[in-house]
Amino acid sequence: MKSATTDISQKKTKGMSLKRKEALTGYLFIAPALISLCVFVIYPVVASFIISGFDWGILSAPKFIGLENYKTLFKDPVFLESLKNTTKWVIIYVPASITVSLIVALAMDMPLRGIGFFRVMFYLPVITPMVVCALLFVWIYNTEFGVLNYVLSLFKIPPVGWLSDKRFSLISIALMSIWKHSGYNMLILLSALQGIPETLYEAAAIDGITPWRKFINIKLPLIMPSMYFVILTSVIDAFQVFTEVFIMTKGGPGYSTHTVSYYLFANAFEYGKMGYACAMAVVMFIIILTVTLIQDRILNKNVQYDI
Amino acid sequence: MKQSRRSIIISYIILAFATAIVLLPFFWMLVSSFKSQRELFAYPPKFFPSVWKWENYRQVLNAGRITFFEMFLNSMKVTIPVVVFNIIFSSLAAYAFARIEFPFRKFLFMLFISSMMIPSAVTMIPRFLLFSNLKLVDTYAPLILPSAFGTAFSIFLLRQFFMTIPVDLEEAAVIDGCGKLRIWATIMLPLSKPIIATLGVFLFQGSYNDFMNPLIYLNTDTKFTVQLGLASFRNSFSTRYDLIMAGSMLALIPVLVIYILCQKYIVRGIVMSGLKG
């Protein structure tokens, strides 16, 4: 692991300078990335916290107002609605998308012919631009002319206003998003499943284990680290849902598909309320951080089987 | 290992079903893009157009203030610098994290890793204010600069790969008196072609498919990228789904070509990024 130059460092005097030279090289190599990280990530995060304490419009001079933005935020019915919708979104999207990914990954883990074809196809929506997916489903979900309602009409189901009915709009977008994203998690889970050593199955086969027990007692515990990764990244992404909402419904009908990201975007770039939008970003950050930490506590307990 | 017949059959059914669900919308996009207005809104819908209307594509290519091809060039003005510079600077940093000893190495690496967990909403507004103070709004700089100097995910992926390269190869070079920069350029990079290809595909996709940043920063419609231009179609011809679908097909083609060419690299990249768990 250690590079060759460290061995030379045992020769004291010359070694010290070599070691320092090496450290300097190291810092030079990471400098562009580190400066970029400071300018484009760390500084903005800190700045978001600070700006959230200001009444910060596009034209007027910023005015410090302390926690006023946060007080307004939790009395703002649209924000509370957005927060509710985002929570609903996470609760619908994450379990459903992971279940789909897991089921498909389990099926793909079988020694089947043509598995490469299935894998390529199932991943196709992931590489497709979100704008394309969103526009495509706007057309499919169209109440009068959409193909989905036509197919349902064959089963005598009356037309549903997938995107125009408040009861369905959020779920409809979530279904599209699950359709688009499941391939990614599926591939991660599949590679975890394929990393399970054959010998474990062989031992289980001697015991005459049922497929269900095999899944619960062998596969699931062993893919837990990947499950953990998949759940974590899905939750973080789900909290930030934006593009599909922006394209498909613009937050409507009513406020039924307003999410925190959407409302934040509208406040910052349409109403020019930068301070207020930053307060939202901070709240979102804290929520995501809390959820991540709780998950870490719960899930890490189950990740004990290192192979 | 032998699988029971039953579980094989069930697996096939699941996969056939899943693939059908995935492919049918694409099929619908394809046929819709070739239909005439009349057939598009016909009831019951016809699955294949009676005449394949290539005219839709010709119309879409020249629909906006700028042609589709110009939008594609705009996208490339963003995407190509991002891919090239990100790979150069990320691999430099990744090499340092994998092979060079320096104080706080672990801490700094963890700093990069944990930055991946930061939601983009938290950095969005200060970044915008920064670029707006620098008078860079409505240029491509805000779309390029934040990812041009190396990003956490790329550094992580490259470092993972560098760690698997045997150290002996570099030791020979050190004895020959090669500097670190030369080792990076003449040994590490050539050995890392597969992972660089993977990363290139990821970066291309991420930058080309991005919608939110172009939406925030680009105002002049002659500067629109493909995604932004495509989204604006929805406003300009609201119910012309034939044209919207044709535009969507065109927007999909570049990523589709890359996907077909680099499919195996994509799979490998995801497998590696999931290893973090």
Could A274 and B19 be called an inter-chain contact, meaning their C-beta atoms sit closer than 8 Å? no
- Which of B1, B272, B267, B18 minimizes the C-alpha distance to A107? B18
Report the range out of A110-119, A228-237, A261-270, A289-298 with the highest average pLDDT.
Answer: A261-270
> Rounded distance, CA A242 to CA A264, Å?
10
Q: Please state, in angstroms and rounded to a whole number, the distance separating the CA atoms of residues A106 and A126.
A: 19
Q: State the nearest Cα–Cα gap between A161 and chain B, in angstroms.
A: 16
Q: Write the residue in B14, B119, B179 that is nearest to A285 by C-beta.
A: B119
Closest alpha carbon to A173 in A136, A134, A144: A134
pLDDT of residue A14: 53
Cβ-defined contact of A236 to B10 (cutoff 8 Å): no
pLDDT greater at residue B130 or residue B65: B130
pLDDT in tens, A160-191: 999 999 999 999 999 999 999 999 999 889 88
Contacts of B155 in chain A (CB under 8 A): 33
- Condensed to tens digits (0 to 9), the pLDDT of residues B25-43 reads 999 999 999 988 888 888 7
**Domain tally, chain B:** 1
Residue of B103, B119, B128 with shortest CB distance to A236: B119
Q: Which residues contact B25 (CB under 8 A, 6 or more apart)?
A: A136, A137, A140, A179
Contact A119 B29 (CB under 8 A): no
* Residues of A whose CB is below 8 A from B252: 128-129, 132
Of the candidates A6, A47, A125, the beta carbon closest to that of B126 is on A47
In a domain, B78, yes or no: yes
Query: What pLDDT, on a 0 to 100 scale, did the predictor assign at position A10?
Result: 45
- Radius of gyration (Cα) for chain B, nearest Å? 23
Cβ distance of A40 and B99 shorter than 8 Å:
no
Closest partner CB to A121 (pick from B19, B103, B108): B19
pLDDT at position B250 is 92
Residue A43 and residue B121: Cβ atoms within 8 Å? no
- Whether residue B73 is predicted with pLDDT greater than 90 in this model: the reply is yes
Q: What are the angstrom distances between the C-alpha of B28 and each of A128, A262, B25, B61?
A: 15, 29, 5, 20
Is the ipTM higher than 0.95? The answer is no
Judged by DSSP in three states, A64 sits in strand
d(CA B87, CA B187): 16
Look at residue A85 and tell me whether its pLDDT is greater than 90: yes
Is the residue at B197 inside a domain? Answer: yes
Is residue A4 predicted with pLDDT exceeding 50? no
Could you give the percent of chain B with pLDDT greater than 70?
A: 96
Taking an 8 Å cut-off on Cβ atoms, the answer to whether B7 and A110 are in contact is yes
All domains of chain A, ordered by start, with CATH? Answer: 5-51 (no CATH), 68-302 (1.10.3720.10)
Cα B141 from Cα B124, distance rounded (Å):
15
Q: Is residue B15 part of a domain?
A: no
Q: Which domain holds residue B75?
A: 54-274
Count of pairs with CB atoms under 8 A, one residue in A, one in B: 298
With beta carbons under 8 A apart, name residues in chain A contacting B129.
Answer: 47, 51, 274
Q: How far apart are CA B30 and CA B5, in angstroms?
A: 37
Query: Does residue B221 form part of some domain?
Result: yes
Within a domain: residue B42? no
Structural domain contains residue B47: no
A32 contacts B92? CB cut-off 8 A? yes
Distance CA B81, CA A84 (A): 40
Best of B4, B22, B130, B244 to substitute, by most chain A Cβ atoms within 10 angstroms, is B22
Instruction: Calculate the average pLDDT of chain A.
Output: 87
Are A128 and B255 within 8 A, CB to CB? yes
Contact B212, A259 (CB under 8 A): no
Reported as half-sphere exposure (CB side, CA atoms, 13 A), residue B145 has a value of 18
Tell me, yes or no, whether B18 lies in a domain: no
> Are B122 and A191 in contact (CB < 8 Å)?
no
CA distance A84 to chain B (A): 18
Residues on chain B touching A24 (C-beta within 8 angstroms): 102
CB nearest to B89's CB, from A22, A32, A188: A32
List the single residue in B with minimal CA-CA distance to A100: B18
Question: Would you give the DSSP letter of residue A5?
Answer: H
Residue type, B183: I
DSSP string, chain B: ----HHHHHHHHHHHHHHHHHHHHHHHHHHHHHT--HHHHT-SSPPSS-SS--THHHHHHHT-SSS-HHHHHHHHHHHHHHHHHHHHHHHHHHHHHHHH---TTHHHHHHHHHHHTTS-HHHHHHHHHHHHHHTT-TTSSHHHHHHHHT--HHHHHHHHHHHHTS-THHHHHHHHTT--HHHHIIIIIHHHTHHHHHHHHHHHHHHHHH--HHHHHH--SGGG--HHHHHHHHHHHTTT-HHHHHHHHHHHHHHHHHHHHHHHHHHHHHHHHHHTT-
Q: Which residues pair with A126 in a beta bridge?
A: none
Structural domain includes residue B122: yes
Question: CA quadruple A223, A224, A229, A235: dihedral positive or negative?
Answer: positive
Residues of chain B neighbouring A246 (CB-CB closer than 8 A): 211, 215
Contact B209 A261 (CB under 8 A): no
CATH of the domain at B116: 1.10.3720.10
